[in-house]
Structure 1
Amino acid sequence: MKIGFEAKRAFKNFTGLGNYSRAVISIMAKYYPQNLYLLYTPQDNNKIRKTLVDPFPNVSVKTAPVKILKSYWRSFQLTKSLINDDIKLFHGLSNELPANIKKSNIASVVTIHDLIFLRFPHYFKWVDRQIYRYKFKAACKNADRIIAISEQTKRDIIQYFNTNPNKIDVVYQGCDASFCFIHTESAIQDIKQKYKLPQEYLLSVGTIETRKNQLLICKALKQLSKDKKLVIVGKATAYKQQILDFIHINNLTQQVIFLENVPFQDLPLIYQGAKIFIYPSRFEGFGIPIVEALNSKIPVIAATGSCLEEAGGPDSLYIHPDDDTALAKAIERVLESEALQANMIKKGLAYAENFNDESIAKNLNSVYQKTIEHAKRRN
């Protein structure tokens, strides 16, 4: 069977949607090698091609014609290419489908990652909200089936787009296999030396922005003893200045370390060197950094209010995203009990098995089969 993927993000984005796209493609190519997978992207990338395409004889790339506007091709001309290539099923990996795909005989499924732009509109420009709403809603309407990356996202699709729940399947994401490899103590010490990290530290990973709520960790840190250190890894936005102001006013400068532009291969080591992973985000589509932490054998403390319990499981700890005192107490509780740490690590690692590649591949393939059956009835 020929399966087409909308692969723009796979070749362009190196985090988030790009990671998801590359993971789905490689997982399906590995576990269902009998299929042929065509990746449709406006622009190729030789670096990505070496790891995503070259290892798999059943994966190939299709790019936009040179003379055509890339965005126009992706939205309005792509269906013609799918028909010419005899694609049986098309998967829009990043919230979109070609505008006219429903008029074809091609089965289509779209992954919706989150509807944060509707839940928290003040985080987005007005024009961006209008574009996202139009594209996401159209994709949900035109797709034969929808993949939501969490139960939270499924509920949001139903609420905001009035979509039939029976049309939506929840298929969780996994994390990169590099987080499942446990490194030696020597390698961890080397990474601490490279980035001048303390022997013991709390860790938070993610873009430094209002929604991610890293300021809450600093407020909790203020309530802890001065020997507690925090490492924040992520791209800075204007929100970082609020954190810096708080750190300066409260004399926390020696306790908080910011890291930006960390090579991906160093991240697992930074995770494994931490005592606790903290993720107080107000809202997420899923929460991949939590899964990365579970696989890295690190206790997790996260926020309530969205889907983070789905990512962290029943044995991680959760606090309200505005309750810095509760966070401080949770940190102390974990640090003061080796038994609790061991239990959280053991059960967290077991829970992370829900997100292994083989399980995800089986779930995706099940959705694909249902999508094809639905398309047959539609046609």
Structure 2
Amino acid sequence: MNEKPPFPLRLGFDAKRAFQNAAGLGNYSRFVLKALREHAPQLDLFAYTPRRKTELFPTFPTDRIKTPEGFPYQQLPALWRSYGLVRDLRRDGVQLYHGLSNELPTGLAAAGVRSVVTIHDVIFERFPHLYPWLDRQFYRAKTKAACAQADVIVAVSQQTKNDLIEFYGIDAERIQVVYQDCQPAFQSRISKENIEAVLAKYGLDKSELYILSVGTIEERKNQIRLVEAFAKLPSKDSKLVIVGRPTAYAQKLRQRITELQLGNEVHLLHDVPSQDLPALYQGARVFAYVSIFEGFGIPIVEALHSGVPVLAATGSCLEEAGGPGALYASPTDIEQMAGVLSQLLEDVPLRSQLISAGTQHVQQFSAKNIAKQLTEIYTEILP
């Protein structure tokens, strides 16, 4: 067995999303870097980003943030990220580079830098009609190249691992499943007064029960069927609150709400700042996430941390995210969805049981556990 290198290990990370994306891949990148800084202090971390929005990640040490230098990379940061970055890794003495968002720069192996890449999903392969043709070619080329180059592939769910094996024929032994947690804000209890203030901000009555759904308003997220299931509930004592960035699908959703005469019962909220989301979660009676397909399902984890029982869809990875803290329905079975929603709204002992089970389930996604798993991967592949 190879002798492991002495600590500290010097690691580089693709931090473009951490410093440029407020949600999604940005949250994942910040989560990984924060977890490693807190729970793996023996690692010396460098963050490489073409540009930096300081307000997104103000706690990361500025002397460990690296941006492109000189011509042409300052003018063409995408070129630096794909080709010029390796030179900087060698200059900084980086032993291993982790691409946190589906891609790696070329030339790592030739430069003597080991590598890990996180693949979040390959939904563009399973549902090609949802993506423009040119985008699919770009995503496929980038993902396949990164997987071919990486010493270890990290998949954010067993579903993503299975998809990489199915679509690209990757050896299962090269793929490690490492989950992620949500932002810490969802793990702290919010006062009743603060919850009521946030509800009032969005015109929601504090005395009314509501079902919450959070996610980009798009076809894959399946909000129209959720509205149709809501319309079938025997009791009209609750509201449905849908939070998310609108796409063209949002107009179809509004039209369906009008057809079902639910204009007073369904609230669509856009441009909700992240600091308001924990209160919206904790004020909800039920959380519903009926996406047709996902790579993992962080909104479910957010709901479980918030102490809210969940309706989730079968058919992808959402059972991994929700575990025993959720009930499940087919994303195409509106009657089944309605039945589960009715159960969750009316059965108090069931809700309590799910909340307790969900609280236990999400402990496996903790920053400490994830940092431990990633550190084991890093140390195992270094010579």
User: For the superposition of Structure 1 and Structure 2, which TM-score range results when normalised by the shorter chain?
Assistant: over 0.9
Instruction: Indicate the SS of the match to 1:369.
Output: helix
C-alpha distance 49-172 of structure 1, shift in aligned 2 (>3 A): closer
| One-letter amino acid of the structure 2 residue matched with residue 4 of structure 1 | G
CA distance in 1, matches of 2:170, 2:59: 37
> Contact 1:227 / 1:255 at 8 angstroms: preserved in 2?
no
Q: CA deviation at 1:66?
A: 4.7
Asked if residue 64 in structure 1 is aligned to residue 68 in structure 2, the reply is yes
| One-letter amino acid of the structure 2 residue matched with residue 3 of structure 1 | L
CA distance in 2, matches of 1:274, 1:74: 42
Q: CA deviation at 1:38?
A: 0.7
> Contact 2:325 / 2:359 at 8 angstroms: preserved in 1?
no
Instruction: Tell me the TM-score normalized by structure 2.
Output: 0.94
Identify which range, 37-46 or 270-279, moves more after superposition: 37-46
Asked if residue 282 in structure 1 is aligned to residue 296 in structure 2, the reply is no
Corresponding position of 1:263? 273
> Contact 2:152 / 2:175 at 8 angstroms: preserved in 1?
yes
After TM superposition, the structure 1 = structure 2 runs for residues 299-378 of structure 1, keeping only pairs within 5 Å, are: 299-372=309-382, 376=383
Corresponding position of 1:204? 213
After TM superposition, the structure 1 = structure 2 runs for residues 217-296 of structure 1, keeping only pairs within 5 Å, are: 217-224=226-233, 225-296=235-306
Asked if residue 4 in structure 1 is aligned to residue 8 in structure 2, the reply is no
Q: Once the two structures are superposed, what CA deviation does each residue of 1:248-307 show, in whole Å capped at 9, x if it has no partner?
A: 111010000011111111100000000000000011110000000000000000000000
Asked if residue 190 in structure 1 is aligned to residue 200 in structure 2, the reply is no
CA RMSD, 1 decimal: 1.1
CA distance in 1, matches of 2:320, 2:57: 32
Asked if residue 15 in structure 1 is aligned to residue 23 in structure 2, the reply is yes
Structure 2 gaps of 5+ residues are 1-8
Instruction: Indicate the SS of the match to 2:217.
Output: coil
> Contact 1:109 / 1:371 at 8 angstroms: preserved in 2?
no
Instruction: Indicate the SS of the match to 1:243.
Output: helix
Instruction: Indicate the SS of the match to 1:231.
Output: strand
Corresponding position of 2:146? 139
CA distance in 2, matches of 1:44, 1:220: 43
CA distance in 2, matches of 1:48, 1:334: 36
After TM superposition, the structure 1 = structure 2 runs for residues 104-115 of structure 1, keeping only pairs within 5 Å, are: 104-115=111-122
Identify which range, 23-32 or 148-157, moves more after superposition: 23-32
CA distance in 2, matches of 1:20, 1:67: 31
Instruction: Indicate the SS of the match to 2:256.
Output: helix
Q: CA deviation at 1:323?
A: 0.7
| One-letter amino acid of the structure 2 residue matched with residue 366 of structure 1 | E
Instruction: Indicate the SS of the match to 1:101.
Output: coil
Q: CA deviation at 1:315?
A: 3.8
Instruction: Tell me the TM-score normalized by structure 1.
Output: 0.95
CA distance in 2, matches of 1:355, 1:148: 14
From 32, 35, 50, the counterpart of 1:27: 35
Identity of aligned residues (%): 47
Q: CA deviation at 1:242?
A: 1.2
* Number of residue pairs the alignment of both structures matches: 369
Asked if residue 215 in structure 1 is aligned to residue 219 in structure 2, the reply is no
From 156, 165, 176, the counterpart of 1:158: 165
CA distance in 2, matches of 1:42, 1:218: 41
Q: CA deviation at 1:226?
A: 2.8
> Contact 1:221 / 1:228 at 8 angstroms: preserved in 2?
no
Q: CA deviation at 1:26?
A: 1.0
Structure 1 gaps of 5+ residues are none
Q: CA deviation at 1:47?
A: 1.6
> Contact 1:206 / 1:212 at 8 angstroms: preserved in 2?
yes
> Contact 2:221 / 2:292 at 8 angstroms: preserved in 1?
yes
Asked if residue 88 in structure 1 is aligned to residue 95 in structure 2, the reply is yes
> Contact 1:6 / 1:91 at 8 angstroms: preserved in 2?
yes
Identify which range, 45-54 or 270-279, moves more after superposition: 45-54
Instruction: Indicate the SS of the match to 1:313.
Output: helix
> Contact 1:316 / 1:344 at 8 angstroms: preserved in 2?
yes
CA distance in 2, matches of 1:266, 1:314: 27
CA distance in 1, matches of 2:315, 2:78: 35
Q: Once the two structures are superposed, what CA deviation does each residue of 1:109-149 show, in whole Å capped at 9, x if it has no partner?
A: 00000000111111111111111111100100000000000
